[in-house]
Every structure is written in C-alpha cells, then in structure tokens.
Structure 1
Amino acid sequence: MNSVALAVTDGMLHFELSLACEVFGADLSHLVDPWYEFALCGPGPVRVGRFRMEPDSGLDGLAAADLVIVPGWADIDVDPPADLVDAVRAAHEAGARVASLCTGAFVLAAAGLLDGRRATTHWAHTRALADRHPRVEVDPDVLYVDNGSVLTSAGKAAAMDLCLHLVRLDHGSAVANTIARRLVVPPHRAGGQAQFVPAPVPDQDDHPLTRLFPWAIERLDRALTVEDMARRANMSSRHLGRHFRAVTGTTPLQWLLTQRIRRAQELLETTGDGIDAIAQATGMGTAASLRRHFNRTIGVPPDTYRRTFRTSRAAAGRPGSS
C-alpha cells in the first residue's frame, strides 16, 4: 500500500489541501484495493482559512510516508515555518516522493529540494519564486513538473492535474480517468498554464476549437493532418496553429499525438488487443511507430506499461500479442 502524508500548518490554502484530501483521502478501495493509506501531519491543531484541523500525527510523520504533499502556502512574502521545511527535507532524504501544489513550491524551494531542478508554481508567483530562489529553474508555462522524486504544480486547478498524474503513475490511466469522471474534471489537460494567464482569448462556447476537439478525438484511428483539422475549423493551417498555441499552449500535431498516446494507454490497460491493433486504433499506423512514440512520451515500452497497469477488466478481455 502506498502511504500519503499531507503536510498541514497554519497558513495553508484550503482549496489545494481539499483537492489532495479528495483524491488520496477518500475511500476508493472499490477501484484499487488497497487504496492509499492517508494521514494529515502537522505541528498540532492548525487553522486553514476559516477551518480548524486536527492532524493525525506530528510533522515527523512525513518521513514515514511514500508520498508527501505540500499544499499551497498563503503568504509567500514570509518564510515558511522552519519545522515544516525541515520535515519536508527529512521526508525526501528518507526516500519519499515530495509534491507541492500551487505555492507549496516555496516550501520545497526553502528546503533546497528544487535547487538545480525545473519547477513551477502559480503563474502569478513564478517571478517571485525565481527571484527568491535563483538556483531553481522556474518554468511559468506548464501545469506541473515531474522530476521523479520531486514534483510541483501550477495554481489551483493544476493541483488536481498533478494529483491525477500521481494516481496515473501509481495505478494507471483507467483508474485516474475514473476518478476524473467522478470529480467531473478532465483526466488530462493538454498545454500549459500560459493559456490561463489573462489574455484576449475568445469565449470558449464560440471558439472553433471547442467543436474541433471532440471531432478529432472521435477520429483518432485516422491519419489526421493539420490541413484536415484546419478545414474542419474553417480556417487556414497557420491560423489554426495560432489558435492552438493560445488555447492549449501547444501545436495541433503535438496535441493530437497526446490524445493518441492517452487512447493507447487506455486500450493497453482495458483490452487484450495486440500492439498492432492498438496502433491502428490510435492512428499510429504500425506497432513500431506506436512503440517509438509511446516510449518517448511515457518512458516505457507499451508492453511494459501493459504488464504494470493491466486492470482486471483487461485480464478478462480478448487475448492478444504484445
């Protein structure tokens, strides 16, 4: 069983804290049994916004967890508490993965965990993080950064993106997608937080990409081109590229590849289809092409991914080669 410890002290942001509790602290043993062992760790009774919380153990409990989550820190103009910083550092030294949500990155940076690493935080505070901690490579354009043992997320809803990413790493896409549906949030958002910085972006209900996205996803088994998508959106390829960059933070082809990889993950987990069949179903063409793109994006071959995250439903599916 993976154990998750949520660091709580006075001055934490309750929104990010609540997201972590909802994902890791809820009883989801009907999806994966056992689910995470979850605990709140703090120096004593703490006040988070208008709420008073009683932790399960002291901050020293962080060092016993497999995953430590540090929610957003409300007042970034003051240094986070030394006992919190020390406890987070000790947990990482003990082998825990440490993930910050929103401005929780300032706690990780104070602990030295982000030195020499790429990291992010809420777009409104990336400059402050970079100025205060010059050894941190701050990326203001992404929703989250995964450095393996140290992870950081951008602000607010991006905290959910990182939580779902962690579930996806531990239990696979099918489980993460089920949780996303339960919470009525996207299982994966393409692009970065640059799309959420105030900018003259058209209202989404009227935006041509709003209709283009589902159209393309329904046709992932086809060899779609930028020109195909541009014709569907009734605009030039160059104009389409500008819209994609503004709305998703990426290019049309990269967005399309991301959707193909996500579909391949689901098929690997939930069916017994062979790699050739999945390559056809996701528009990759050949098993060699699927393996190349999948390995480069996910970090492991599709065969290995299937063995790791194959669900019970997949085990009951059709037999297939890999």
Structure 2
Amino acid sequence: MKRALNFYAGPAALPLPVLKEAEKNWLNYNGSGMAVMELSHRSKEYDAIHQKAQDLLRSVLSIPDSYEVLFLQGGASLQFSMVPMNLLTSGKAGNYVLTGVWSEKALQEAEKVGQVCVAASSKEENYRHIPKINEIKLSEDAAYLHITSNNTIYGTQWDHYPTNEAVPLIVDMSSDIMSKRLNIENFDLIYAGAQKNLGPSGVTIAIINKKLLSHSNPSLPTMLNYNTFAKHDSLYNTPPTLAIYLLKLVLEWAEQEGGLSVIEKRNEEKAKILYNCIDESEGFYKGHAEIDSRSKMNVTFTLKDEETSKQFLQQAKEAGFIGLGGHRSVGGCRASIYNAVPVEHVEQLAEFMKTFQYKY
C-alpha cells in the first residue's frame, strides 16, 4: 500500500509508527484476547491505558500538579458551551478575541449562556492577522479572556499569548497543542480536540487549573460540569476508550521523537519550506495571513484565479497530495502540516508547487 500525502486539516494524519503499533494489537491487546474497543472501561487492562495516557500528557506538556487533566467528549464545539456554563458567573462577561470562525462560534455559544464582550478582533481585515496584545481591551466585568491559539481556516496563529491578565486565560488549542513548548501556568484552561496533533477524533483534552473548579455552578447538568470529570478521573461515564488508547500511542511516539523541543523545531522547518515557496513565487502564490501572524500548522494561500486553483488542486490530487483544498468559507488552498506530516512530504509539496508554477 502506498501512503497518501495527507494534508487534511482534521481529522489529520497520524504518525505511521502509531498506526503500525495499533494494527499489531488490533485483535489481541496485551494478551487479553480482545481488541481495545472491546475492553471494559473498568478493567485493569483499560485502566492501565487510561492512567498512562494521563501521565504521558503531563510529561510531554510539562503539566504541573496544580492542573487537572480531563478526557472529555463532544470536541471543541461542546467546550464552546461548557466554558461559559462553568466559568461565566452572574454579573460578569465572557471576553473573547475574534480571530476566525472557531472563535466566532465560541462567542455565539457564550451569548446563549450570559453576557459577552469582544475584547479584540481582526474580522474587518478578513482575519489576516492576530490582534496585538496591547489591542486587547477587557471589559470591567470580565469573567475570563478566551482566545483561539491557531486558526485552521485562515492560517493564523498566536506567537505570544496574553499574560498577567487580571482574569483567567482560556485557550482553544485544538489545532496546535503539542506542536511547540508551552508554559502551562500561563493558562488557566486549555482545551483541544485530539484530531490534529494528539490522536483521532472522539476525545477532547482539557487542562484546567484546579482553582477554576470551584467556579462551576453545582446546578449544572452533571455531564456539563468540569468537576464531574475531575472527581471521577474522567471515568464518570464510558470514555472513548479506543481514542484514548491511540492518544497514548501518539504521546509515546512524541517522547520517542525527542519531545516538544524536537517536534517544535521540525514544525518550524516544515513551515519555512512552504512559506519560502510562496514568498519566492513572485506573486504566483499569495499567502492569506500576514507574515507576523502566519500559522506553522495551516499554510493558506491562493492562486491568481479560481480556474488556476482548480487546476492546481486537480493536478495535486493526481500526484498523490490529499486535502489541499481551502475551507469552503474562504476557498483557495491550504496545507495542514501537523506533527505527523513528515518533512519529506512537505518538501515534495513545495517541489510540486514550483513545477506547477513553471508550467503555468
């Protein structure tokens, strides 16, 4: 079998060693005579997987003991509701920085729960850049500040985060978690769907400062309260066991690769290859994001017209490149180069782009 050159934005490529390890144990995990998805979530075999995944996440991301690690479901989209339901108290306003579609969706869900405020936005510039830190204006009644760290549709990413704010910092990190080193203590709540860098779709990670757990309204529905998952070790109900197993394998792979310092350097290399190709094309390819806001996870660009873009995408598909179409809301092209995308695949894409430009 020839592996596809996978540049989908998500669900995205998984590391090949992870898939091979899962395949090896697919029918008989650890001599149990059962596949992982057949194991009871109360069994000792699954408990070992669950605890190892939590421990590895703490190790790889350097998460201190003052934070809970939760395994949730519902994706980042459910977190758009859970965040304000748990943290937006009466008389306060959730503050949001708008940098793209997903931050807009987060704001819209918070509006259904309570008061909100837009603390900064780049919407008028078609989300081509991340607002400057000094442009963020918190409301006097701010309950928290919410940002989206990487914007898959527009190809922008925060390089520096707001710090030393008077309110908790909440970050949707779905598309760039584990792509670079972080100081977790600069954030109060990080949430992320796994299907970009952490594993398959189906499990959502929440890393929450234990101090925030006291903010939750006890009258919330049980499954929408962070305390439920913190008190029951994310085992209150049946968790997505197979997704957590694959998350564990991805984290083991990350450690074997050398950790976040190695992964971060590799991601910088991949992004540089594609952005150099765009910048050196003399306008044939045009990047959507402003240079100081460019994402290292999602490289977005356009060609001179729609017909040329169609030809590019068709010929790219024939050459084995998958998932290069831009999001339907903005069009153009997008190469998602998450952790599992090898440097060699990015080099091949850059070579294809240069050849296409030469032909046209």
Larger helix fraction of residues: 1
The TM-score, its normalising length taken from structure 1, stands at 0.30
Larger strand fraction of residues: 2
| Higher RCO (C-alpha 8 Å, min separation 6) | 2
